[in-house]
C-alpha cells in the first residue's frame, strides 16, 4: 500500500514523579519543555508534559504522563526505547554527559553500523542517542549541551515483540512501511520518503514476558505517527477496518491535534495523528512555550480543582528562549471552523476524593 504516514509525530511515556521527569528531560537529555497541560482521559488530574527541540517540531515531541499512583510492568508488546538523533561524533560527549549526571547507560554501541548510546530515565524508561548525519533540525541548547552535540529530534523508536511476523505484516500492510534490514534480533522498518524520524526497529525477544498496557510508571504508552490531514486520518482508519482491525478508536480531539488509536498485533498501541491549525503555538507564543500550565477551553472552569491536586513543579529558567519572554499565554481563540470530520471530546469532572498520592 501507499503509506499515509509521514514519520513519527510523538511518543508517549509514563514516568513517575513530575519534577523528576522535568529534571531528566531538560537537564540530562537537553529537551525543551514546550507544553504543560493535563491528561484528557479519566477523572484524576495528571500532568501531560510535552518535550521537544528548539522549534517544537513534529517528530521531536516526547509526551509524558507522570503516573506515580501505580507501577507499570516493562516487557514485550511495548515501545522499549525512544531514539533521538545527534550529530556524528557526539556519542562520546553523551557518554561523559550521562556519567556527570549519574545516569545509567550502555556505553557506546553499534546497531545497523551506526553508533548509539542508551540511557535509563530514573523511572526505568530507556532513551538512546544515535549518530546521524544530515539532520538539520534545530537542537535545544542548555548550559551543558551545545548545538553541535544536542538532540535534533526523533530517529525513531525500538519496539519489543516476542515474534516479528504479525507485527511486520501490520507495519507493511496497514501502515505502508518497508522493511530495510535485519541486524541480529533487530528488524528495521522505514516510512517511505525522506527526512528524519521515519525508523522503527522491532526488537525480537522471544523469552520476554508481556508488559502492561495501561498507565503505569516506568513504561511507554504508545507511539504516534503523523498524517497530513484529518481526511488522511479517516482514510487510515478505513485501512485498519478493511484489514480487520475493527477496534480502531474514534477520532479524538486532543486540542493540539486529532488522534486515532489501534492496538497492533504485537501488543504495541499505535496512534495516528493530524495536527490542527496552530498546533502547539495556538495557545502560547513561541518564546513562552512550556512556562505555564495550560488547559483546553473545556477544562478551564475546573482549573482551581485541577491545580490543587497536581504536584508543584519548577520549570528551569533556561527553558525560555531568551530575556523578555512572555510569562503568560495568549488567549485561546475560538477555532475558525469546526473540524470537517466527527471528533470525540472527552470532558472529565475531576474528583477531589481521587487525588493522586
Longest Cα pair distance anywhere in the chain, in angstroms?
55
Query: To the nearest whole percent, how much of the chain has pLDDT over 90?
Result: 73
The confidence band for 355, taking pLDDT boundaries of 50, 70 and 90, is: very low
Q: What average pLDDT score do residues 44-57 get? A: 93
In a domain, 326, yes or no: no
Quick check: is 311 in a domain?
A: no
Whether residue 297 is contained in a domain is answered as no
Residue 230 in domain:
yes
Domain that holds residue 130: 5-280
| Average pLDDT score, the chain | 89
| pLDDT, tens digit, 9 for 90 and up, residues 305-346 | 899 989 999 998 888 765 433 334 443 443 445 566 666 655
Task: Let me know if residue 305 belongs to a domain.
Answer: no
**What pLDDT, on the 0 to 100 scale, is given for residue 330?**
42
Rounded Cα–Cα distance for residues 107 and 86 (Å): 15
Report d(CA 225, CA 83) in Å as an integer: 14
Please state the rounded mean pLDDT for residues 63-88.
95
pLDDT in tens, 247-264: 999 999 988 999 999 999
Q: What is the pLDDT of residue 128?
A: 99
CA distance 45 to 65: 10
Read off the pLDDT of residues 79-126 as tens digits, 9 standing for 90 and up: 999 999 999 999 999 999 999 999 999 999 999 999 999 999 999 999
| pLDDT confidence bin for 176, thresholds 50/70/90 | very high
pLDDT at 346: 53
**What is the per-residue pLDDT for 45?**
86
Residue 33 maps to which CATH number?
Answer: 3.10.180.10
pLDDT attached to residue 182: 98
pLDDT of 217 strictly over 60: yes
Q: What is the mean pLDDT of residues 55-59?
A: 94
Report which of 241, 86, 203, 105 is spatially closest to residue 154, judged by C-alpha positions: 86
How many domains does the chain contain in total? 1
Give CA separation, 313 vs 17, 18, 21, 307, 320, in Å: 10, 7, 10, 11, 16
For residue 308, tell me if it sits in a domain.
no
Tens digits of residue pLDDT in 255-311: 899 999 999 999 999 999 999 888 888 888 888 899 999 988 878 888 998 999 899
In this predicted structure, the answer to whether residue 60 has a pLDDT above a threshold of 80 is: yes
pLDDT of residue 339: 62
Q: Which three cell numbers stand for residue 314?
A: 519548577
At 171, the pLDDT band (50, 70, 90 cuts) reads very high
**Would you say residue 208 has pLDDT above 50?**
yes
Report yes or no on 342 lying in a domain.
no
Does residue 318 lie within any of the structural domains? no
* Reported confidence tier of residue 71, pLDDT bands at 50, 70, 90: very high
Amino acid at each position: 500500500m501507499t503509506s499515509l504516514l509521514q514519520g513519527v509525530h510523538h511518543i508517549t511515556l509514563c514516568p513517575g514523579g513530575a519534577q523528576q521527569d522535568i529534571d531528566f528531560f531538560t537537564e540530562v537529555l537537553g529537551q525543551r519543555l514546550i507544553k504543560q497541560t493535563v491528561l484528557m482521559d479519566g477523572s484524576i488530574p495528571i500532568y501531560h508534559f510535552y518535550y521537544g527541540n528548539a522549534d517544537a517540531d513534529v517528530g521531536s515531541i516526547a509526551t509524558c504522563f507522570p503516573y506515580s499512583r501505580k507501577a507499570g510492568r516493562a516487557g514485550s508488546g511495548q515501545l522499549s526505547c525512544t531514539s533521538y538523533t545527534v550529530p556524528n561524533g557526539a556519542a562520546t560527549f553523551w557518554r561523559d554527559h550521562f556519567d556527570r549526571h549519574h545516569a545509567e547507560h550502555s556505553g557506546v554501541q553499534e546497531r545497523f553500523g551506526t553508533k548509539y548510546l542508551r540511557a535509563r530515565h530514573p523511572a526505568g524508561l530507556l532513551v538512546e542517542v544515535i549518530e546521524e548525519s544530515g539532520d538539520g533540525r534545530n537542537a535545544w541548547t542548555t548550559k551543558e549541551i551545545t548545538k553541535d552535540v544536542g538532540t535534533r529530534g526523533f530517529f525513531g523508536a525500538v519496539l519489543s515483540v516476542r515474534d516479528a511476523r504479525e507485527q511486520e505484516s501490520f507495519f507493511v500492510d496497514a501502515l505502508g512501511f518497508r522493511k530495510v534490514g535485519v541486524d541480529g534480533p533487530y528488524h528495521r522498518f522505514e516510512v517511505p520518503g525522506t527526512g528524519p524520524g521515519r525508523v522503527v526497529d522491532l526488537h525480537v525477544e522471544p523469552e520476554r514476558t508481556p508488559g502492561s498496557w495501561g498507565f503505569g510508571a516506568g513504561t511507554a504508552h504508545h507511539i504516534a505517527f503523523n498524517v497530513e490531514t484529518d481526511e488522511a486520518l479517516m482514510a487510515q482508519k478505513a485501512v485498519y477496518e478493511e484489514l480487520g482491525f475493527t477496534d480502531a478508536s474514534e477520532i479524538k480531539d486532543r486540542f493540539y491535534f486529532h488522534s486515532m488509536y489501534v492496538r497492533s498485533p504485537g501488543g504495541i498501541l499505535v496512534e495516528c495523528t493530524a495536527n490542527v491549525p496552530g498546533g502547539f503555538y495556538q495557545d502560547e507564543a513561541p518564546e513562552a512555550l512550556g512556562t505555564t500550565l495550560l488547559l483546553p477551553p473545556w477544562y478551564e472552569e475546573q482549573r482551581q480543582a485541577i491545580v490543587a491536586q497536581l504536584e508543584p513543579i519548577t520549570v528551569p529558567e533556561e527553558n525560555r528562549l531568551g530575556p523578555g519572554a512572555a510569562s503568560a499565554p495568549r488567549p485561546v481563540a475560538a477555532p475558525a471552523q469546526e473540524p470537517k470530520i466527527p471528533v470525540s471530546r472527552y470532558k472529565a469532572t475531576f474528583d477531589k476524593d481521587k487525588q493522586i498520592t
